Amino acid sequence: MKAGKNKYNYFLRIRCLAFVLMCLCGPFSSFSQEANTFSLKVKFSIQGGGMENALITITKNGTPYRVIDSKAKYKLDLELGAEFLLVFTKPGYITKSIAVDTRVPNGREKEEIREYIATVELAKQPEDQEITYTQPVGRIKYSTMESEFDADKDYTQAAQAMVAKAEANPKPKPKPPAPNPKPVTTTPPPQTLPPSNPIPVAVKPPEYKPEPPKPKPVAKEPETVYKPVTKNKVEKVIQEDRKKITVVTVTIDGIDYVYKKEEYNWGGVYFYCDGKNITENTFTKQTE
């Protein structure tokens, strides 16, 4: 009878201990879900060179956020609901940048988010020339199709075209200003003195002839030349599984400006001009 009682007390203590552990673990688990972030692992390399003087400059919503110095691998825990820009630089190499949009649908921020790996390699600038990319070479954002963060495939196609155009048309490097030449001093020729006893020569003064009065200039009003501005607009709609994309191409004097409006089934609406985020008001005015 005593042995059975001891066995009962042993199982009772085990159950009490398990209950205490559940009470302790519960708050920590819920806290980690509420304070969830997006983990981005960056693999940074230099083509044919080392990492010395290489920098990763990060901005958050357009303001300075962090600077990473000479690290080939780095893990970033980025806050959700913001827009980050990672700029990769090294003297003598082509600068690249990546845009990261950490906005997620409502409720998704409390769930576990998979880590994403971004690989960036800088190529050397050509001799006597300079290549400049006018926009980020890649964009990472939340994919409703994958329910995780992934590369924006539509943006990647536009970025690849931009990279090809920039590499096909490099600009000449600006030459340093030439040093100012030293002033050359010249010795004036020796003056010839007149003879001590010059012979006087009679000089006839010139006849005075009054000049006729000059007419006053008449000021002409400047002519204003107005150059007509040619503007054309082409609009198309792309319907995907979970979002609707409206692409508006506005051509002004032969220059194309591509506007994009993305409408997601979960309610999110985003506006872009040449791959950069803009407001709805700017989108409406510039695509009228």
| pLDDT tens digits for range 210-227 | 777 777 777 666 666 656
State the amino acid at position 285 in one-letter form.
K
Q: What is the pLDDT of residue 1?
A: 47
State the amino acid at position 235 in one-letter form.
E
CA angle 171, 84, 245 (to 5 degrees): 85
Q: What is the pLDDT of residue 202?
A: 64
pLDDT: is 226 or 105 the higher one? Answer: 105
Tokens describing residue 149: 């963060």
The yes-or-no verdict on residue 53 having pLDDT over 60 is: yes
> What percentage of the chain has pLDDT greater than the value 70?
73
pLDDT band at 96 (very low <50, low <70, confident <90, very high): very high
Q: Give residue-wise pLDDT tens across range 127-171.
A: 888 999 999 999 999 998 989 999 999 999 999 999 999 999 898
Q: Is-contact 120 96, C-beta < 8 A?
A: yes
Rounded to whole angstroms, the Cα distance separating 240 from 205 reads 100
pLDDT band at 30 (very low <50, low <70, confident <90, very high): very low
Helix (H, G, I), strand (E, B) or coil at 83: strand
Tokens describing residue 44: 């940074």
State the amino acid at position 65 in one-letter form.
Y
**Buried-exposed string 94-115: b where 16+ CB fall within 10 A, e elsewhere:** bbbbbbbbbebeeebbeeebee
pLDDT: is 178 or 79 the higher one? Answer: 79
Helix (H, G, I), strand (E, B) or coil at 156: helix
> What percentage of the chain has pLDDT greater than the value 90?
43
pLDDT band at 43 (very low <50, low <70, confident <90, very high): very high
Give mean pLDDT, residues 252-262.
Answer: 88
Query: Is residue 12 within a helix (H) or strand (E), and if so which, with residue range?
Result: helix 2-34
Q: What is the pLDDT of residue 151?
A: 93
Q: What is the pLDDT of residue 20?
A: 34
Give mean pLDDT, residues 38-43.
Answer: 94
The yes-or-no verdict on residue 82 having pLDDT over 80 is: yes
